[in-house]
Amino acid sequence: MYFLSKIKVLALSFLLLLLLGCSLKKTREQEKIETGERKVQIMGITIESAWSYKYDLDSGIYTVYFMSKEPVEVKFYLSKEEKEEVFKKCHSLKLNNNTKEINFDGNCPNLPTLYQTLLIRSAESSQKIKVSSSCDYSNTPDGHKAGQVMEFINWVTDLVGSKPEVKAAPESDIIYY
């Protein structure tokens, strides 16, 4: 009888410690909420280069658009390390995750203004960021951020463009005046 009560006391003590430990342990998500950090898990990234090209990193498809024929889709492969680096650099942009669409407006002397569009998809939402390499953002409040987004887009397009299958793809024949 004494032995059984000792086992019960030990079992109850173990359960109490387990429950106490679980209630004290903060999850990473709770820490993010408490510190005000909101890091969204990126599910996919797509870059559209004006009306000529599309880089879909999620599906690994590079699309070339033409004026008078159907688009050409080319499959490419990014390693796990390359994808992680892309997502890491995307997070480092520190974009406002609550905004569905961001348009960087600058001094754009060239018409038409040709935008690079960055689409970021997460489990909860998607975000569309438009920036133009032909615009001057130096005298705008968001000029530094626009430059960072443009650098990221150029880095990703260079990364994908370095793949042999993308190098072998035809060039778009869309002409911009």
List the Cα angle 175/116/105 in 5-degree steps: 110
DSSP string for 120-149: EEESS-EEEEEEETTSB-TTSTTHHHHHHH
Quickly tell me which residue has 């072998």 as its tokens. Answer: 168
Q: Quick one: average pLDDT of 97-125?
A: 77
The predicted pLDDT at position 97 comes to: 63
Examine the pLDDT at 168 and tell me if it is beyond 80.
yes
The predicted pLDDT at position 7 comes to: 56
pLDDT in tens, 119-157: 888 777 788 888 887 777 777 777 778 888 888 999 999
High-pLDDT (> 70) share of the chain, %: 72
Residue 15: which pLDDT band, with cuts at 50, 70 and 90?
very low
Q: Quick one: average pLDDT of 39-68?
A: 86
Tokens of 83: 């994808």
The predicted pLDDT at position 19 comes to: 42
pTM: 0.70
User: How many Å apart are CA 17 and CA 15, to the nearest integer?
Assistant: 5
The predicted pLDDT at position 156 comes to: 93
